Chain A
């Protein structure tokens, strides 16, 4: 069974800092990996999707990388802002199902 792990579980950084969130998965047979943001009491908002054939994907201040063979992905957030405070989740798609990590709770301190 696919298992997805996100480390750290929580992270607190001062505003303006660049940061990296980590996601690892146990089975490299994936079609894609998706990063989400979840605000308290809300649903999940899709940030980036990386196909299994891609190495990275960028959107604004966000950059996600994928190393499928080693079972790792990172989400890089540049010049963090208080509005980036949220929980970030990654999910891998294995053809039928998505498997989610438990998330990293990010707090950006003004």
Chain B
């Protein structure tokens, strides 16, 4: 089982460049999430999509946009990359169970450096 797949795994950008991080899940999950992980800060939620066709801001949405392309895919876009966006980005998905007690499943992350 592939689970949650993120591409690319590594990327180096120059300040001002744009790029899109891709995430796909094959578990038929309704909800998908984008996090960033920085040293000493833990994981912080950027955006999430509770179901296909909806997206909502998380804790740190500034400088990012998302698209829930279909039930499988949830992309994260940096329109004009800044050094402060250097981080490890994780995508996660979750089946929205009846009592909302379903675990999250994570991809392996995208390591992004912005010079």
Q: Which residue numbers of A lie inside 8 Å of B, CB to CB?
A: 4, 31-32, 34, 36, 42-46, 49, 51, 89, 91, 93, 95-103
How many residues does chain B have at the interface if contact means C-beta atoms less than 8 Å apart? 27
- Additional pairs, 10, CB under 8 Å, beyond known A31-B99, A100-B44: A32-B101, A34-B103, A43-B4, A43-B107, A44-B106, A89-B42, A93-B100, A100-B42, A100-B43, A101-B42
Interface of A is mostly: strand
Query: Given the complex, which residues of A lie within 8 Å of B35, measured CB to CB?
Result: 100
Sample 15 A-B pairs with CB under 8 A, ordered by A number: A4-B42, A32-B100, A32-B101, A42-B108, A44-B106, A46-B103, A49-B101, A49-B103, A89-B43, A93-B100, A97-B45, A98-B45, A99-B45, A102-B42, A103-B42
Q: How far is the CA of A95 from the CA of B4 in the complex (A)?
A: 22
Give the A-binding residues of B (Cβ under 8 A): 4, 33, 35, 40-45, 48, 50, 56, 58-59, 90, 92, 99-109
